[in-house]
């Protein structure tokens, strides 16, 4: 079968299998071979690699991955696409299809069964409406992944790699950068998809750290502080943390911690680095313990 990375072949497959594009699954199929090559190159796929692909769609990217990787496990939520994938991937013996929701799959067990627990690489053209929950699940569960290379909305990619002080910097930036080094490796215009989305896209590679770049005593407290800081990002940090449900800190405790860090008490959360949030978390956590 001719590869799917061209519009005419994609349209032929859609017509052959009478595929109805499902908006509820955020389906936008890649129809540009250059982009598909860029993604597989950026993911640094080698013959010894096992790759988990999320949302293979019609199998366009799967074909490119299968030619580079030792094994590809493709997880597709849309049952109607399974016979299509069995057709478009029939020539590739190293591809296994799983019809399931990636947010419900036991990924740790999957990696153990399919790759002996050794780290795998994740590649995906993610539905934009559910990008963040998928990415955060892959990161937070500390699954055995060495890298995650995903197509996302351009603005989401910008937020993932943003630094302090900018409008794109927020809770997602800090969460991603706690677990991985983020690098945008390609920009993808709407005309590379069928149907065309109303936004531009980017391919971002997340290279996971063996250990986080900062040390913190209580990760749960750290991320509670981060979320509270950006829930009302225009407020001073003292007010954001004092007013946040579930956080027991009065203004004086936050003020004292900030001053001991050499940070202005009037600072907003968007000005703090990940290292400063970790330091603040440890100081406030110690203050709680001292009161107990």
CATH code of 242's domain: 1.10.8.100
**CA-CA distance, 44 to 64, in Å (whole number)?**
12
Residue 1 maps to a domain: no
Mean pLDDT within 173-188: 96
Q: State the pLDDT at residue 239.
A: 93
Same domain for 160 and 105, yes or no, is yes
Same domain for 201 and 255, yes or no, is no
Same domain for 98 and 45, yes or no, is yes
Domain membership of residue 107 as a residue range: 7-208
**CA-CA distance, 234 to 240, in Å (whole number)?**
9
Burial 25-36 (b: 16+ CB within 10 A, else e): bbbbbbbbbebb
Same domain for 232 and 199, yes or no, is no
- Number of Cβ atoms within 10 Å of the Cβ of 37: 13
Contact 185, 204 (CB under 8 A): yes
pLDDT band at 253 (very low <50, low <70, confident <90, very high): very high
**CA-CA distance, 212 to 87, in Å (whole number)?**
42
Same domain for 169 and 239, yes or no, is no
Residue 131 maps to a domain: yes
**CA-CA distance, 108 to 90, in Å (whole number)?**
27
Strand partners, 73: 52, 96
Mean pLDDT within 16-34: 83
Q: Which of 178, 208, 238 is the last residue of a domain?
A: 208
Residue 223 maps to a domain: yes
Q: State the pLDDT at residue 128.
A: 84
Same domain for 47 and 172, yes or no, is yes
Same domain for 195 and 267, yes or no, is no
Same domain for 195 and 223, yes or no, is no
Mean pLDDT within 218-246: 92
Which alpha helices (DSSP H) does the chain contain, by range? 7-16, 33-42, 60-68, 82-88, 107-115, 131-140, 154-161, 171-179, 219-231, 237-243, 251-260, 274-291
Q: State the pLDDT at residue 21.
A: 78
Least confident of 34-38, 82-86, 110-114, 233-237: 233-237
pLDDT band at 198 (very low <50, low <70, confident <90, very high): confident
Same domain for 170 and 248, yes or no, is no
Can you give the CATH number for the domain in which 131 is found? 3.40.50.150
Residue 2 maps to a domain: no
Q: Which of 189, 208, 227 is the last residue of a domain?
A: 208
Mean pLDDT within 108-115: 95
Contact 30, 192 (CB under 8 A): yes
pLDDT band at 25 (very low <50, low <70, confident <90, very high): low
Q: State the pLDDT at residue 292.
A: 57
Q: State the pLDDT at residue 1.
A: 61
Q: State the pLDDT at residue 14.
A: 87
Q: Which of 208, 233, 248 is the last residue of a domain?
A: 208
Structural domains of the chain, count: 2
Same domain for 77 and 151, yes or no, is yes
Encode pLDDT of 129-160 as tens digits: 889 999 999 999 999 999 999 999 999 999 99
125 sits in which H/E element: strand 120-125
C-alpha distances out from residue 13 to 23, 125, 135, Å: 18, 19, 29
- Number of Cβ atoms within 10 Å of the Cβ of 129: 12
Same domain for 169 and 233, yes or no, is no
Contact 102, 77 (CB under 8 A): yes
Same domain for 238 and 280, yes or no, is yes
Average pLDDT, the chain: 93
- Number of Cβ atoms within 10 Å of the Cβ of 19: 19
- The share of the chain scoring above pLDDT 90, in percent, equals 80
Residue 214 maps to a domain: no
Mean pLDDT within 234-258: 91
């Amino acid at each position: 079968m001719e590869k799917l990375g061209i519009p005419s072949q994609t349209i032929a497959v859609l017509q052959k299998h009478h595929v109805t594009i499902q908006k509820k699954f955020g389906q936008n199929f890649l129809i540009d071979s250059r982009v598909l090559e860029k993604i597989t190159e950026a993911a640094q796929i080698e013959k010894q690699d096992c790759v988990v692909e999320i949302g293979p769609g019609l199998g366009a990217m799967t074909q490119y991955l299968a030619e580079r990787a030792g094994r590809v496990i493709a997880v597709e939520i849309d049952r109607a696409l399974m016979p299509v994938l069995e057709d478009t991937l029939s020539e590739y013996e190293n591809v296994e299809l799983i019809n399931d929701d990636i947010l419900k799959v036991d990924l740790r067990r999957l990696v153990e069964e399919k790759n002996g627990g050794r780290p795998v690489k994740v590649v995906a053209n993610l539905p934009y409406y559910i990008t963040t929950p998928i990415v955060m699940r892959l990161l937070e569960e500390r699954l055995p992944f060495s890298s995650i290379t995903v197509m996302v909305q351009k603005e989401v990619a910008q937020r993932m790699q943003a630094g302090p002080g900018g409008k794109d910097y927020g809770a997602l930036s800090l969460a991603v950068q706690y677990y991985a080094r983020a690098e945008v490796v390609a920009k993808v215009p709407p005309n590379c998809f069928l149907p065309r989305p109303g936004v531009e896209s980017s391919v971002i590679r997340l290279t996971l750290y063996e250990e986080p770049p900062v040390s913190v005593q209580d990760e749960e407290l750290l991320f509670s502080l981060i979320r509270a800081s950006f829930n009302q990002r225009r407020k001073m940090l003292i007010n954001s943390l004092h007013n946040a449900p579930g956080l027991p800190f009065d203004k004086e405790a936050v003020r004292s911690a900030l001053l001991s860090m050499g940070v202005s008490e009037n600072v907003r959360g968007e000005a703090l680095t990940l290292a400063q949030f970790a330091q603040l978390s440890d100081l406030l956590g110690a203050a709680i313990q001292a009161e107990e």
